[in-house]
Amino acid sequence: MPDPIPTKSRAKIAAENRAELDGWIDERAEELVAAGMPPDEARRRAIEEFGDVNFAELYAERQDVAADRRVRVSLWAEELASDARIAIRTLARTPSVTAVVLLTFALGIGATTAVFSVVHAMLLRQLPFGEEARLVYLPAVDNGVIRPGLGGGRHSATALVALRQRTTSFVGIAGLETANGILKGNGDPEQLWEAGLTPDGFEVLQARAAIGRTFRASEGFAPASDAVVILLDGLWRRRFGADSNIIGRTIDFGNEQREVIGVMPPGFRVPTYEQADLITPLDIDRLARNPANAQVRFQRLFGRVKPGVSLAAAQADVDRAMRSLQTELPRSFSGIETRVMPIRTALVGQARSRLLVLMGAAVFVLLIACANVAGVLLARALARRHELAVRVALGAGRRRLIRQFLAEGAVLAIFGTGVGMLVAQFGIVALRKITTTALPEGTTFALEPRVVSFAVAAAVVSALASALFPALAATRALGGWIALRRDERRASPSRATKRLRLALVASQLAVSVVLLVGAGLFLRTLHRLAALDLGYATEHALTFRPRFIRPKSNAEQDAYYASLYAELRAIPGVVSVGGGNVPTSGTSTVTGLGIEGRPVDDTRLPDVRYTPASDDYFATLRIPVLRGRTFTPEDRDGAPWVAVVSAGLAKQLWPDADPIGARIRVEANKPWATIVGVVGDVRMGGADAPQPSVYTSQRQDHWPGAGWVVLRAEGEPEALAASVREAVRRVDPTLVLVGLRTLNEFRRSTPAIADRRMQMQLMLAFALVALVVSAIGVYGVSAYAMEARRHEFGIRMALGASRRGVLWLALRDGANVAGIGAVVGLPLALLLAWRVRDLLFSTSPYDPLTLGVVLGAMVVVVFAASLAPARRATLVDPAKAMRAD
Amino acid sequence: MSGNVATPSERLQGTVDVLILKTLAWKPMHGYAIAQFLADRSRGDLAVEGAALYQGLHRLQRKGLIKSKWGSSDTKRRVRIYNLTEQGRAQLVAESDGWKRYAAAVTRVLALRAGDANA
């Protein structure tokens, strides 16, 4: 290290220069006197010879001040570097403490960043549409609510056409419906999601193709509508190798030959929750011309509001149009309204509150980590208080000391950010796995530049804040430390700083309580959901969906199913095989139920879940038959249609009569079916109430290429997967098998459960991190307190205090901190729990079990963390402790 | 260089600076001693004004070519003693070469006789 160059004040520089000048002139004058000149004259002569004294003085001062400033700057830089070096060295001297602090800090930064990447993707990133503010979703509202699930919010083609004609607030209103189909050629056949979009959709969205073009208005009308297709970027890259010569080529999709006219840019997605691989034109007018379609609700509508029209005005306009529709077509539209909703609100939906809860939890973890950093730095400052006091006495300014703390903070921030990025990357990978059902399809998130800058900013701010806090506290306390005499050093250094450390740890515990309560409530919710009786058995069952490539005639389909069921039943370990939709989301909901003999517009009949089912469907799913019978081989093509209804529907429609023998139809274009049996209610997603259901015979009601197959197994169903694939191939080698998994997996992947599981897993992870970090804080506080009070304990024990008494004294700090943490944390936890009560399911936000377990866990952790140092205190040898200095 | 304080011309500064550096290359000295040294060695031909010398010392110190500390002179006087830094020594070597060439060039020009100028 170079010589220390003390910097000087301007006044000192001037004084020294004056002395130098005076000396110079004196020396010359003395010489002249020695040569025989009278002193007065000698002095005058000396000044004259010297020249312009005043100017020389001024010049020298300027030079010296400039030099001094440069010294100051280089000193500052040098000291900064040395501060950093010292910081690294002191941090390295206690590697385990540093590792823990760094790791918790990195965890805090990583967790916050990972969650922020999703928040950014969902709430902040620009949507792939133009002028987002004027783009709205127009969901159907049924009796005041937008029905949950994938079926909710959909409108009929009639509604779309009517809204276009009867409103004036929109530049355009587009409709979109999703379906799936098989893509053939160019590799294995593959099931893809198709979005049917009215040709004006791209104009409404203000979206352009990356290559090729989007639809022309004429392409909305059959037969031209069948001929063209637009690919989304993902499909184009995956399946067609990003070949830009694809435009003009024909692909075989859904048994149609379609010309590819365009490819959408990366990042584009349809403005709904649903997935889409390609977009076809939707002929809405053809659909609307059929009056029966007024009740077939498959369309999601969105529109672009004209410039200058407010959303409120657009809503009033839409309300007017819907009222006129309700008067004209009461059967189809009574109780149905349309909401005007900003597109982002529609896309984010419930995910918003979930995300904000998670973001809050992550920020809490970061805060706890910061408190930890602050606590460790403060402890170190206390340990170094004599050194610091001496340095202050020697003239080191308070600023200089604070800077040293900040240097430690900066070092932590740099390393913490580095490690935090790794944690964030892991977190993002994990989040991608568990958020699939919670976010709109195609939502991507990563460590993008904006996310990284957020992380860096968060790390710098929180590291510096957690360093500045102990820096201010410690340097303020220095005045007191300096005054401490040698023998007083044994006493605790400062009440204020001790209270500060206790407060830090207490707030860590309080935050941990909040997170633990949150995690506990979500865990309870999940348990309640998993334990919920769905009305069918999900254990030991396997399900999959066979998709035909070639359209089958009714007879072919019957034969195909018969042989498929036979092959599957023949697999050893299979108890029974059933066909029909597994009760899940709501894709099979219909709204056009009719009852023979009841006036069409009498009362609005309920929306029902409806699926064709095989004879063994009920037995395989273990849905109890309450009255009458289920389907038999006699219920086949040609025989009179029969139906089975759920108990809830039976009770709702025939409260006092026997439903068996009554005739219903699920859609206006289907034949009347006689009810032959009543079965138990089933729940769809899990959390929702049981939905009224209608079942038809699979051999009478032929859905083309749809329907799930369920196998009931004796043992573990996973073991049967390979045999199932083989059996399916034996029946028809061209068949595509989709979504093979156990019914339990199926159940877990329903949004009601999957979303909450993600919430719970993350909350639990955050809460555990918080608890561990707090435990470290408690340990630190008690270990330090014990060290400071060794002498005191020694005296107490010499005077006859029992080990038990000393142990209690030693544990008291921990108990106090835990108490404060609980007192502050619990009300906060309850307040926040009440705010997120909508995310819970049949769990009270004040769930006593959760609260009890959380408090118990905290007591145990605090006790465990302070026990080791406390025990060490009781092992002090009184004689040694008192003699030791 | 300072703005509103008039400074001696660059050439004169350069002359003073190189003389100071050369003097200090012999041994560390205080300001008045340097003035005496220069007056003695140049046999009175190079009587540098005290003010110019004083300014030069502070200028060179700012440039980091010399450094100073307080001490006592041969006559037990409390004086600021200047010393050459490594950087100053290197600067002296570079400057004295330049100065010798410059002086030689000036000498050559002054030594020209009438008629030589057009040759």
Q: pLDDT (tens digit, 9 = 90+) per residue, A760-797?
A: 788 888 888 888 878 877 777 777 777 767 777 778 88
B80: chain A residues, CB-CB within 8 Å: 16, 20, 23
Nearest to B58 among A19, A49, A63 (CB): A63
A25: chain B residues, CB-CB within 8 Å: 50
> Any residues with CB less than 8 A from the CB of A778 and at least 6 apart, and which?
A505, A509, A814, A817, A818, A861, A862, A865, A866
Q: Is B52 an 8 Å CB contact of chain A?
A: yes
Please check whether residue B41 lies inside any domain of the structure: yes
Nearest to A24 among B6, B32, B58 (CB): B32
pLDDT at B66 (0 to 100): 92
Report d(CA A391, CA A406) in Å as an integer.
17
pLDDT greater at residue A569 or residue A9? A569
Quick check: B3 pLDDT over 50?
no
Report the phi/psi class of residue A81: left, alpha or beta, with left for phi > 0 and alpha for psi in -120 to 50.
Answer: alpha
Q: What value does the mean pLDDT of chain A take? A: 81
Domain count, chain B: 1
Three-state DSSP at A595 gives strand
pLDDT at A291 (0 to 100): 73
Instruction: Give the tens place of pLDDT for each residue, A434-455.
Output: 666 566 666 778 888 888 898 8
B113 to chain A, closest Cα gap in Å = 38
Three-state DSSP at A710 gives strand
Report d(CA A655, CA A650) in Å as an integer.
7
Q: What residues does B70 pair with on adjacent strands?
A: B80
Please check whether residue B119 lies inside any domain of the structure: no
Please check whether residue B70 lies inside any domain of the structure: yes
State the pLDDT confidence band at A722, using cuts at 50, 70 and 90.
Answer: confident
Three-state DSSP at B10 gives helix
The two tokens of residue A74 are 């280089």
A77 to chain B, closest Cα gap in Å = 18
Quick check: A59 pLDDT over 70?
yes
Helix (H) and strand (E) counts in chain A: 25, 25
Please check whether residue B101 lies inside any domain of the structure: yes
Phi, psi of A864 (to 5 degrees): -60, -40
How many residue pairs from chains A and B have C-beta atoms closer than 8 A? 73
* A252, HSE (Cβ side, Cα atoms, 13 Å): 10
Q: Is B50 an 8 Å CB contact of chain A?
A: yes
Tell me the one-letter amino acid at A448: E
Q: Is A256 an 8 Å CB contact of chain B?
A: no
Instruction: Give the tens place of pLDDT for each residue, A327-349.
Output: 888 877 888 889 999 988 888 77
B51 to chain A, closest Cα gap in Å = 5
H or E stretch covering A453: helix A449-483
Determine whether the interchain pair B51/A62 forms a contact, defined as Cβ–Cβ distance below 8 Å.
no
Q: Residue A466 class from Cβ within 10 Å (0-12 exposed, 13-18 middle, 19+ buried)? A: buried
Please check whether residue B117 lies inside any domain of the structure: no
Q: Which of A32, A591, A566, A622 is nearest to A294 (CA)?
A: A591
Secondary structure (DSSP) of chain B: --SSS----HHHHHHHHHHHHHHHHHS-EEHHHHHHHHHHHTTTS----HHHHHHHHHHHHHTTSEEEEEEE-TTS-EEEEEEE-HHHHHHHHHHHHHHHHHHHHHHHHHHPPTTGGG-
Quick check: A602 pLDDT over 70?
no
Q: Which of B33, B79, B26 is nearest to A19 (CA)?
A: B79
State the pLDDT confidence band at A584, using cuts at 50, 70 and 90.
Answer: low
Instruction: Give the tens place of pLDDT for each residue, A386-428.
Output: 777 777 666 666 777 777 788 888 888 888 889 999 989 988 8
Is the Cβ–Cβ distance between A227 and A258 less than 8 Å?
Answer: yes
Global pTM exceeds 0.95: no
pLDDT at A168 (0 to 100): 93
Could you tell me the CATH number of the domain that includes residue B73?
1.10.10.10
- Mean pLDDT over B68-77 rounds to 85
**What DSSP state is assigned to residue A89?**
H
Is the Cβ–Cβ distance between A280 and A251 less than 8 Å?
Answer: no
Instruction: Give the tens place of pLDDT for each residue, A540-562.
Output: 888 888 876 666 678 888 888 88
Determine whether the interchain pair B51/A24 forms a contact, defined as Cβ–Cβ distance below 8 Å.
no
- The lowest-confidence range among A263-272, A362-371, A479-488, A727-736 is A479-488
With pLDDT > 70 as the criterion, what percentage of chain A qualifies? 87
- The lowest-confidence range among A351-365, A471-485, A573-587 is A471-485
A147 to A154, A558, A615: CA distances (angstroms): 9, 35, 31
The two tokens of residue B47 are 């009587």
Nearest to A21 among B54, B62, B64 (CB): B54
A28: chain B residues, CB-CB within 8 Å: 32, 50
Name the E strands within A505-651.
Answer: 541-547, 574-579, 589-590, 594-595, 608-613, 625-628, 642-646
pLDDT at B2 (0 to 100): 39
Please tell me which of A142-151, A479-488, A607-616, A774-783 the model is most confident about, judged by mean pLDDT: A607-616
Q: Is A69 an 8 Å CB contact of chain B?
A: no
Q: Where are the domains of chain A?
A: 10-81, 139-339, 351-531+754-883, 549-734
A18 to chain B, closest Cα gap in Å = 11
B6: chain A residues, CB-CB within 8 Å: 55
pLDDT greater at residue A297 or residue A301? A301
The two tokens of residue A247 are 């435009």
Quick check: B5 pLDDT over 60?
no
State the pLDDT confidence band at A586, using cuts at 50, 70 and 90.
Answer: very low
The reply to whether ipTM tops 0.85 is no
Three-state DSSP at B5 gives coil
Q: How many residues does chain B have?
A: 119
Around Cβ A791, how many Cβ atoms within 10 Å?
19
Q: Is B59 an 8 Å CB contact of chain A?
A: yes
The torsion defined by the Cα of A611, A615, A619 and A623, in degrees rounded to 10, comes to 30
Determine whether the interchain pair B77/A52 forms a contact, defined as Cβ–Cβ distance below 8 Å.
no
Quick check: A641 pLDDT over 80?
yes
pLDDT at A340 (0 to 100): 93
Interface of A with B in 25-44 (CB under 8 A): 25-28
Quick check: A687 pLDDT over 60?
no
Q: Is B69 an 8 Å CB contact of chain A?
A: no
- Mean pLDDT over A663-677 rounds to 85
Range of the domain at B18: 10-111
Q: Which of A838, A546, A517, A541 is nearest to A706 (CA)?
A: A546
A488 to chain B, closest Cα gap in Å = 43
